[in-house]
């Protein structure tokens, strides 16, 4: 009997990128929720036209009483009798960190799924990058790429991933500074407690996260029967089930319980949780993430059972 | 047959099934069926769901191996391997000729040889062939072909002989029998030892049989002891063996005349060596007791080496020219000789100082050696006696001294002609220095000893130089003058030490070399009694005394062995007429061993046999390996079942369920083991134990309850009176007297039982009397008192009294020794008081005790008679109890007859003496020597 699941080779970045751009074309420009990011999103790369914290000069304005003396621009004030304060243009762009889990378990593709989990995860990540870049957001990848705000951010991200493959497991968060959004794409098959142990500190640092759980349909429905030897692609551990079909009920129950508990815990952090199955179109997950990022919670298009 | 192993399969076709083993292996490895391999990332979730680990997909390799072994065992078992399969391959062209070695080397495996031979006879019978059978150890051979039954009978009658195989006559008999028609097959069951002529196989091949079959064992048991010799530290034993290719260590044991092992040693054969030497370390005194050397674990005649009395201690007579002076022993020449020889020889010394008497008296005791220290002239009449004794084999060792130096030169009993006077070295008027010894000459028995450096000779007697002086010299001084010279006279020898036997002429007598020289000289002498009369024996004929059987045991049965002719200088050989053993008599014998001295066992040369079939001597029984293999397979199956159960965790589950209970049980057990438990004792107390212990605590006087009240009361009162007297007068403090029912009560607690005889009392039944008999036999004493002195036991009275008749009736059933009245020197008269008679109420009756006969007729000045033990019986008629009886106030109950209080006193004293005699035995007899002992100690 041919086996249901396979370990597939890594998807080339270029292919993923083209697919991601196709997906991204279907999705309108991402307008990240204004409420959360204050005025930043609407500014984007087309300018905020407003004084604020930034690096570029915006205007000189007269000093008003009560302002800190240190803000006075003495060079300008010296030109006439008024005292001026230098204002700068507000340049704080919103940063969105994208990260995909590329551990061996992600290389899995079953006959029921359309593509491998890794492939789907990359497509999602790059499509998100494309959309967000189009919207002028700063796109970063923890451990791989510093946030950039560029029109070709998706291409740059693909290149960066090609050059320095993503670390396995959960992301290296040392690069992440300040309040930003984090999109984590992976299968999150580790026990929910371990996952939360890693994510909890991030949430406490003010990061806002969106977790996309990619699952192969075979992992969810457990279509195995008969004597089966299961191998863990990460640890190589082997487990032989005499009659796999009798395990199905129990397994599905345990699997859903894990997903539910993970989702529940993430919602407690204020994060969002999007389960996605590889037999569904990638757009579903993309749209869901897009909605969340845009501050429009949706329940309709969860790429799976729920 | 497969190779040299007699091993074959009954159904070799089944072995083809072994090809299936790899298939079985593959099948075993494949089950359980190979699972569908699936990659499954959420394995941890699955693992949390699955109840338990499945059995691993592959069984462990050792389990597979076990099962493979099981399969192999079953296949081999069905193939039915058989050891020693037999096939009948006799040629039918002529009769079967069997030549069987029944020499000494065949004794260990004789049964197997008989089996091999009888299998061949069976084969011949199956093919209807005549059988001719000859045994090489027998005297006569009958090689005529006969029926198989006859051959079987002759085979059953034959046995191993303690002799080397004599094949020449056997082959000659075969040649004669098959002169016309050669035999179909000659089967030669051999011990593989080549005969001295070395032509056995060639001669066999010359018979031109249809086939020659040689059946031999591996020869590892053919080991023989060929020689022994006495060396300084032990006895050296030489052994030879047939199978030379391996290293072998044999343990040799020396046995004494009674067959007890008294010493042992080891012989190491290096690979390839046919002979080896070993040493049995034993002190010289012990070596004298060696009668036989054997190899441990090999009971053949060849592995036994008999020793004769050449190894015995010599009897040495000592004679000195001067009267013995005990007060200055160090100046006496015999002192040093005595000290040197005492460990090695039996020394006899003359009782008389008169040499004319002393020499014949010494020679009467048949010494091997006579040592004369500084005797110049002997009485004229002793010369012929001494010369005759030396001719008969005696050894005379003489030491020089002032008397010898002054003796006339024509002394016939010196080995060399001596110059008159002695030679002094290193005196005030001499230039010469005291001389040390030179190296011992090679022909000397002292050769091999190191040259003594610390011996200086200051004075010696000198030999006249003669042509043969050098070869008669055993030891020289450094300047070449002989120190020890010798000469043979007839069968005997004279040895002269040219120095004196005490330390005045040299310091030789106080050195260790003196001991060794004397020991070697004495060892050279002939053992056994050498008489001074009769004529010298040149060649003697000795009757067989004890013969060696094939298993190396000495048996008294001599069969048809003929007397052995022993000629000097010729070593007798063991032949069927003179089988090995001891020849002579108990007083002196010569040992004849199976193999001549320094013989070597050689394997037969099979090349000379031409074409032949060589076979191993295997047990004739063929036996199958099938049951063993089946058992092995079954055991493996059981082991497999247990292993499978273990692997499936049956025991672990059981263990877990009962773990708590087991722990609890263990704790309880450990606690119980740690607690000091009282030793469990069997309850063997008897109802009257307390009474017995009370009886044993103190000595009690006892009397026999006759059943008549007045007699019993009198006995009790009497013994009570004696008890009081004993308590008052002696250290013996007996308990209250005990009345005994001899039919029931235990008697053995009492040293003496007083038995008043009353004719009117009921006669004791036979069981009671036999108990009394057993009591007396076990060391007790019964004092019979007939109380009728008036009609006493003495012969004076006309008739016997009723009490005496009753006593006779009782004694008729007892095993009593001869009796006598107490003799005047008996211990009884001296045990405590000095007594002459033993009165009771009456004074007339003697006290009869067991008669002692020793030393009766010899005049003895000892005041008391010695003798072991005490008399088991005493008989009196004096009514002791009547005299001893006291009432509660201590007053005497009955008057003595005649009324004399001294007589009562003596009656008590008699009782005391009897009790002392009972309790101390003949110790008191020895006490009479105390004054003499004290006197001797005082000096």
**pLDDT tens digits for range B232-243:** 677 888 888 888
A83, part of any domain: yes
In a shared domain, residues A211 and A268: yes
A214/chain B closest Cα distance in angstroms: 12
Q: Please give the backbone phi and psi of residue B583, each rounded to the nearest 5 degrees, phi first.
A: -115, 135
Region of A101 on the Ramachandran plot (φ > 0 left; ψ -120 to 50 alpha; else beta): beta
- Are A240 and B54 inside 8 Å of each other by CB? yes
B615, part of any domain: yes
Average pLDDT, chain B: 80
A287/chain B closest Cα distance in angstroms: 27
Identify the residue with better confidence: B534 or B525: B525
Measured at the alpha carbon of residue B238, what is the angle toward residues B234 and B240, in degrees to the nearest 5?
Answer: 155
Residues 216-235 of A with CB under 8 A from B: 216, 219, 224, 226-235
The number of CA neighbours under 13 Å toward the Cβ of A150 is: 11
B752, part of any domain: yes
Nearest residue on chain B to A103, judged by CA atoms? B41
- Are A227 and B33 inside 8 Å of each other by CB? yes
In a shared domain, residues B661 and B568: no
In a shared domain, residues A158 and A274: yes
**What integer pLDDT is reported at residue B718 of this predicted model?**
92
B27/chain A closest Cα distance in angstroms: 18
For residue B170, what are the domain limits? 96-220+603-621
- Are A251 and B46 inside 8 Å of each other by CB? yes
In a shared domain, residues A209 and A63: no
In a shared domain, residues B513 and B641: no
For residue A168, what are the domain limits? 5-38+93-293
Average pLDDT, chain A: 76
What percent of chain A shows pLDDT beyond 90? Answer: 1
In a shared domain, residues B120 and B227: no
pLDDT digits (tens, 9 = 90+) for A93-112: 677 888 888 788 888 888 88
- Are B38 and A255 inside 8 Å of each other by CB? no
Nearest residue on chain A to B46, judged by CA atoms? A251
The pairing of strands A181-186 and A138-141 is unpaired
A301, part of any domain: no
A229, part of any domain: yes
B12, part of any domain: yes
A57, part of any domain: yes
Q: Using an 8 Å Cβ cutoff, are B544 and B572 in contact? A: no
In a shared domain, residues A266 and A150: yes
B686, part of any domain: no
d(CA B419, CA B497): 14
- Are B36 and A229 inside 8 Å of each other by CB? yes
**Considering only A103-112, A171-180, A273-282, B97-106, which range has the smallest mean pLDDT?**
A171-180
In a shared domain, residues B158 and B212: yes
In a shared domain, residues B468 and B550: no
d(CA B577, CA B561): 5
d(CA B103, CA B754): 73
Identify the residue with better confidence: A112 or B620: A112
Burial of B665 (0-12, 13-18, 19+ CB in 10 A): exposed
- Are B38 and A108 inside 8 Å of each other by CB? no
- Are B41 and A233 inside 8 Å of each other by CB? yes
pLDDT band at B659 (very low <50, low <70, confident <90, very high): low
**Considering only A42-46, B15-19, B252-256, which range has the smallest mean pLDDT?**
A42-46
In a shared domain, residues A171 and A288: yes
Number of domains in chain B: 6
All residues of chain B having their beta carbon less than 8 Å from the beta carbon of residue A5 are 38-40
> If you average pLDDT over residues B124-147, what whole number do you get?
84
In a shared domain, residues B434 and B290: no
Q: Does the structure show a pLDDT above 80 at B268?
A: yes
In a shared domain, residues B649 and B695: no
Kindly report the CATH number assigned to the domain that includes residue B254. Answer: 2.60.40
Q: Does the structure show a pLDDT above 50 at A31?
A: no
> If you average pLDDT over residues B134-143, what whole number do you get?
82
**What integer pLDDT is reported at residue B190 of this predicted model?**
84
**What integer pLDDT is reported at residue A189 of this predicted model?**
83
All residues of chain B having their beta carbon less than 8 Å from the beta carbon of residue A229 are 35-38, 57
- Show the tokens assigned to B474: 């055993």
- Are A6 and B35 inside 8 Å of each other by CB? no
d(CA B532, CA B512): 33
Kindly report the CATH number assigned to the domain that includes residue B372. Answer: 3.40.50.880
A201/chain B closest Cα distance in angstroms: 25
B31/chain A closest Cα distance in angstroms: 12
All residues of chain B having their beta carbon less than 8 Å from the beta carbon of residue A7 are 39
> If you average pLDDT over residues B233-254, what whole number do you get?
85
Kindly report the CATH number assigned to the domain that includes residue B704. Answer: 3.40.50.12140
pLDDT digits (tens, 9 = 90+) for B802-845: 888 888 888 877 777 778 888 887 888 888 888 888 888 888 88
Kindly report the CATH number assigned to the domain that includes residue B107. Answer: 3.40.50.410
A275/chain B closest Cα distance in angstroms: 15
A4 in B contact zone (CB under 8 Å):
yes
In a shared domain, residues B872 and B757: yes
**What integer pLDDT is reported at residue B666 of this predicted model?**
76
Query: Which of B38, B41, B45 is nearest residue A229 as measured by Cβ atoms?
Result: B38
Identify the residue with better confidence: A38 or B810: B810
pLDDT band at B754 (very low <50, low <70, confident <90, very high): very high
pLDDT band at A301 (very low <50, low <70, confident <90, very high): very low
Kindly report the CATH number assigned to the domain that includes residue A259. Answer: 3.40.50
Q: Is pTM, for the whole model, over 0.80?
A: no
- Longest CA–CA span in chain A (Å) reads 92
Number of domains in chain A: 2
> If you average pLDDT over residues A109-132, what whole number do you get?
84
- Are B42 and A219 inside 8 Å of each other by CB? yes
A189 in B contact zone (CB under 8 Å):
yes
d(CA B5, CA B12): 16
In a shared domain, residues A145 and A192: yes
A168 in B contact zone (CB under 8 Å):
no
B57 in A contact zone (CB under 8 Å):
yes
A44, part of any domain: no
> If you average pLDDT over residues B73-85, what whole number do you get?
81
In a shared domain, residues A10 and A110: yes
pLDDT digits (tens, 9 = 90+) for B692-733: 888 888 888 999 988 888 889 999 999 999 999 999 999 988
**What integer pLDDT is reported at residue B906 of this predicted model?**
92
In a shared domain, residues B511 and B567: no
Alpha-carbon dihedral angle through residues A40, A41, A44, A48, given to the nearest 10 degrees: -40
Mutation site for B-interface testing, chosen from A109, A226, A240, A255 by largest number of B Cβ within 10 Å = A240
B537, part of any domain: no
- Are B44 and A189 inside 8 Å of each other by CB? yes
- Are A187 and B41 inside 8 Å of each other by CB? yes
B19 in A contact zone (CB under 8 Å):
no
Helical (H) or strand (E) element with A5: strand A5-7
Query: Which of A189, A219, A228 is nearest residue B35 as measured by Cβ atoms?
Result: A228
In a shared domain, residues A28 and A101: yes
SS3 for B322?
coil
Q: Does the structure show a pLDDT above 60 at A43?
A: no
A138, part of any domain: yes
pLDDT digits (tens, 9 = 90+) for B334-367: 888 888 887 777 788 877 767 777 788 888 877 8
> If you average pLDDT over residues B896-914, what whole number do you get?
89
Nearest residue on chain A to B36, judged by CA atoms? A228
ipTM of this complex: 0.72
B371, part of any domain: yes
pLDDT digits (tens, 9 = 90+) for B292-325: 888 888 888 888 888 876 656 678 888 876 655 5
Radius of gyration of chain B (CA): 45
In a shared domain, residues A205 and A66: no
Residues 81-140 of A with CB under 8 A from B: 105-106, 108
In a shared domain, residues A151 and A66: no
All residues of chain B having their beta carbon less than 8 Å from the beta carbon of residue A254 are 45, 48-49
Q: Using an 8 Å Cβ cutoff, are B474 and B445 in contact? A: yes
- Are A230 and B45 inside 8 Å of each other by CB? no
**What integer pLDDT is reported at residue B907 of this predicted model?**
92
Q: Please give the backbone phi and psi of residue B535, each rounded to the nearest 5 degrees, phi first.
A: -105, 160
The pairing of strands B700-704 and B623-624 is unpaired
**What integer pLDDT is reported at residue B4 of this predicted model?**
44
Alpha-carbon dihedral angle through residues A275, A277, A280, A283, given to the nearest 10 degrees: 50
- Are B43 and A4 inside 8 Å of each other by CB? no
B91, part of any domain: no
Nearest residue on chain B to A233, judged by CA atoms? B41
- Are A224 and B37 inside 8 Å of each other by CB? no
B683, part of any domain: no
SS3 for B735?
strand
- Are A1 and B39 inside 8 Å of each other by CB? no
**What integer pLDDT is reported at residue B721 of this predicted model?**
92
Q: Does the structure show a pLDDT above 50 at A305?
A: no
> If you average pLDDT over residues B569-577, what whole number do you get?
74
In a shared domain, residues B611 and B642: no
What percent of chain B shows pLDDT beyond 70? Answer: 85
pLDDT digits (tens, 9 = 90+) for B13-50: 888 888 888 888 877 766 666 677 888 888 888 888 77
Query: Which of A106, A191, A232 is nearest residue B43 as measured by Cβ atoms?
Result: A232
In a shared domain, residues A74 and A98: no
d(CA A34, CA A6): 43
Q: Does the structure show a pLDDT above 80 at B883?
A: yes
In a shared domain, residues B833 and B882: yes
Q: Using an 8 Å Cβ cutoff, are B712 and B758 in contact? A: no
d(CA A16, CA A117): 12
In a shared domain, residues A85 and A16: no
B38/chain A closest Cα distance in angstroms: 5
A270, part of any domain: yes
A163, part of any domain: yes
Q: Using an 8 Å Cβ cutoff, are B289 and B258 in contact? A: no
Query: Which of B33, B39, B43 is nearest residue A6 as measured by Cβ atoms?
Result: B39
In a shared domain, residues B859 and B883: yes
């Amino acid at each position: 009997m041919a086996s249901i699941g396979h370990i597939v080779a890594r998807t080339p970045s270029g292919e993923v990128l083209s697919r991601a751009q196709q997906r991204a074309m279907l999705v309108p420009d991402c307008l990240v929720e204004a409420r959360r990011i204050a005025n930043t999103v609407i500014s984007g790369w087309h300018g905020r036209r407003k004084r604020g914290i930034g690096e570029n000069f915006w205007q000189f304005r007269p000093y008003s009483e009560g302002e800190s003396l240190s803000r006075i621009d003495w060079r300008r004030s010296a030109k006439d009798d008024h005292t001026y304060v230098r204002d700068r243009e507000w340049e704080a762009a919103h940063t969105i960190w994208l990260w995909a889990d590329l551990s061996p378990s992600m290389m899995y593709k079953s006959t029921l799924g359309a593509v491998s989990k890794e492939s789907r995860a990359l497509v999602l990540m790059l499509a998100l990058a494309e959309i967000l870049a189009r919207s002028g957001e700063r796109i970063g990848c923890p451990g791989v790429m510093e946030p950039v705000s560029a029109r070709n951010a998706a291409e740059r991200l693909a290149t960066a991933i090609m050059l320095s493959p993503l670390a396995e497991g959960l992301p290296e968060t040392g690069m992440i500074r300040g309040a930003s959004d984090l999109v984590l794409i992976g299968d999150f098959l580790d026990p929910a407690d371990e996952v939360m142990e890693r994510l909890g500190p991030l949430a406490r640092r003010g990061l806002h996260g969106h977790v996309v759980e990619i699952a192969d349909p075979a992992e969810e429905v457990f279509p195995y029967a008969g004597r089966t030897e299961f191998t863990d692609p990460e640890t190589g551990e082997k487990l032989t089930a005499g009659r796999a079909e009798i395990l199905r009920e129990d397994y599905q129950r345990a699997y859903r319980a894990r997903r539910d508990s993970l989702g529940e815990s993430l919602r407690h952090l204020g994060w969002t949780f999007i389960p996605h199955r590889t037999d569904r179109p990638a757009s579903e997950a993309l749209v869901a993430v897009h909605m969340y990022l845009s501050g429009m919670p949706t329940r309709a298009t969860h790429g799976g059972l729920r | 047959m497969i190779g040299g192993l007699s091993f074959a399969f009954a159904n070799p076709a089944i072995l083809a099934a072994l090809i299936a083993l790899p298939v079985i292996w593959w099948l075993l490895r494949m089950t359980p069926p190979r699972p569908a391999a699936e990659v499954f990332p959420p394995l941890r979730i699955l693992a949390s769901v699955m109840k338990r680990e499945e059995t691993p997909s592959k069984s462990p390799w050792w389990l597979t191996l076990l099962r493979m072994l099981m399969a192999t065992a079953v296949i081999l078992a069905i193939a039915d391997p058989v050891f020693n399969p037999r096939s009948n391959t006799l040629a039918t062209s002529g009769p079967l000729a069997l030549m069987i070695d029944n020499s000494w080397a065949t004794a260990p495996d004789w049964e197997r040889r008989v089996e091999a031979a009888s299998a061949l006879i069976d084969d011949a019978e199956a093919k209807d062939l005549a059988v001719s059978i000859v045994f090489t150890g027998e005297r006569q051979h009958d090689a005529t072909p006969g029926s198989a039954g006859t051959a079987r009978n002759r085979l059953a009658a034959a046995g191993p002989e303690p002799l080397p195989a004599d094949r020449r006559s056997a082959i000659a008999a075969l040649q004669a029998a098959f002169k016309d028609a050669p035999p179909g097959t000659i089967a030669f069951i051999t011990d593989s030892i080549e005969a001295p002529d070395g032509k056995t196989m060639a001669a066999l091949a010359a018979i031109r049989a249809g086939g020659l079959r040689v059946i031999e064992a591996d020869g590892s048991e053919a080991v023989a002891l060929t020689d022994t010799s006495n060396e300084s530290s032990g006895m050296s034993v030489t052994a030879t063996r047939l199978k030379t290719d391996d290293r072998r260590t044999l343990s040799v044991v020396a046995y004494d005349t009674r067959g007890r092992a008294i010493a042992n040693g080891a012989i190491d054969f290096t690979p390839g060596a046919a002979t080896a030497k070993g040493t049995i370390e034993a002190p010289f005194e012990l070596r004298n007791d060696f009668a036989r050397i054997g190899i441990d674990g090999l009971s053949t005649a060849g592995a036994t080496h008999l020793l004769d009395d050449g190894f015995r201690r010599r009897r040495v007579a000592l004679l000195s020219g001067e009267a013995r002076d005990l007060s200055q022993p160090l100046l006496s020449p015999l002192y040093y000789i005595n000290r040197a020889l005492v460990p090695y020889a039996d020394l006899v010394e003359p009782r008389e100082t008169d040499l004319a008497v002393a020499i014949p008296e010494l020679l009467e005791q048949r010494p091997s050696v006579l040592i004369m220290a500084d005797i110049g002239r002997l009485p004229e009449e002793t010369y012929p006696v001494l010369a005759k004794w030396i001719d008969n084999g005696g050894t005379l060792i003489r030491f020089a001294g002032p008397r010898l130096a002054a003796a006339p030169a024509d002394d016939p009993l010196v080995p060399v002609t001596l110059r008159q006077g002695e030679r002094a070295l290193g005196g005030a008027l001499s230039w010469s220095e005291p001389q040390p010894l030179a190296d011992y000459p090679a022909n000397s028995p002292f050769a091999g000893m190191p040259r003594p450096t610390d011996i200086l000779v200051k004075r010696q007697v000198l030999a006249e130089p003669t042509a043969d002086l050098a070869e008669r010299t055993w030891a020289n001084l450094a300047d070449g003058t002989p120190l020890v010279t010798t000469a043979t006279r007839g069968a005997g020898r004279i040895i002269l030490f040219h120095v004196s036997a005490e330390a005045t002429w040299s310091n030789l007598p106080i050195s260790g070399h003196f001991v060794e020289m004397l020991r070697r000289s004495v060892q050279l002498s002939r053992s056994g009694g050498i008489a001074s009369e009769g004529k010298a024996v040149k060649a003697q004929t000795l009757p067989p005394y004890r013969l060696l059987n094939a298993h190396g045991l000495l048996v008294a049965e001599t069969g048809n062995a003929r007397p052995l002719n022993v000629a000097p200088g010729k070593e007798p050989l063991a032949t069927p007429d003179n089988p090995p053993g001891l020849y002579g008599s108990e007083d002196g014998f010569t040992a004849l061993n199976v193999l001549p001295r320094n013989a070597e066992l050689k394997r037969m040369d099979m090349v000379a046999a031409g074409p032949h079939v060589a076979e191993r001597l295997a047990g004739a029984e063929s036996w199958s390996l099938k049951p063993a293999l089946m058992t092995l397979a079954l055991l493996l199956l059981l082991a497999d079942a247990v292993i499978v159960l273990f692997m499936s965790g049956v025991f672990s589950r059981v263990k877990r369920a009962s773990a708590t209970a087991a722990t609890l049980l263990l704790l309880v057990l450990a606690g119980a083991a740690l607690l000091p438990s009282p030793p469990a004792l069997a309850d063997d107390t008897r109802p009257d134990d307390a009474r017995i212990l009370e009886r044993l605590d103190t000595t009690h006087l006892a009397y026999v309850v006759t059943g008549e009240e007045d007699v019993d009361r009198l006995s009790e009162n009497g013994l009570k009176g004696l008890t009081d007297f004993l308590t008052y007068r002696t250290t013996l403090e007996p308990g209250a007297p005990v009345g005994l029912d001899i039919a029931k009560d235990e008697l053995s607690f009492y040293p003496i039982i007083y038995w008043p005889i009353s004719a009117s009392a009921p006669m004791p039944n036979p069981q009671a009397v036999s108990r009394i008999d057993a009591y007396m036999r076990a060391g007790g004493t019964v004092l019979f008192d007939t109380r009728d002195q008036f009609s006493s036991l003495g012969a004076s009275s006309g008739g016997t009294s009723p009490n005496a008749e009753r006593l006779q009736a009782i004694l008729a059933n007892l095993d009593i020794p001869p009796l006598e009245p107490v003799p005047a020197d008996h211990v009884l008269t001296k045990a405590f008081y000095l007594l002459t008679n033993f009165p009771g109420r009456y004074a007339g009756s003697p006290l009869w005790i067991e008669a002692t006969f020793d030393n009766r007729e010899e005049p003895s000045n000892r005041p008391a008679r010695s003798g072991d033990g005490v008399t088991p019986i005493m008989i009196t008629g004096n009514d002791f109890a009547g005299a001893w009886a006291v009432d509660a106030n201590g007053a005497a109950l009955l008057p003595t007859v005649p009324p004399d209080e001294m007589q009562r006193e003596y009656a008590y004293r008699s009782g005391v003496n009897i009790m002392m005699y009972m309790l101390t035995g003949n110790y008191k007899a020895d006490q009479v020597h105390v004054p003499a002992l004290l006197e001797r100690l005082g000096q």
